[in-house]
Amino acid sequence: MAQDLKAAVMRSRETLLSDALGGAALALLFVGALSLPRLVM
């Protein structure tokens, strides 16, 4: 099972990296949106 998981990660490494970067961008946008009310007042 560990070999299957490792093989799946190796096959989709580029997709996983892209998904991780997208998730980080969404998190930054979310934090920025929550900070806007504090900056306006």
* Domain parsing of the chain, residue ranges: 2-40
In the numeric block, which tokens belong to residue 31?
A: 């934090």
Distance CA(31)–CA(25), nearest Å, equals 10
Average pLDDT, the chain: 90
pLDDT range class, residue 8, cuts 50, 70, 90? confident
Q: Are 3 and 11 in contact (CB under 8 A)?
A: no
- What average pLDDT does range 32-40 have in this prediction? 85
- What average pLDDT does range 18-36 have in this prediction? 94
For the entire predicted model, the pTM comes to 0.63
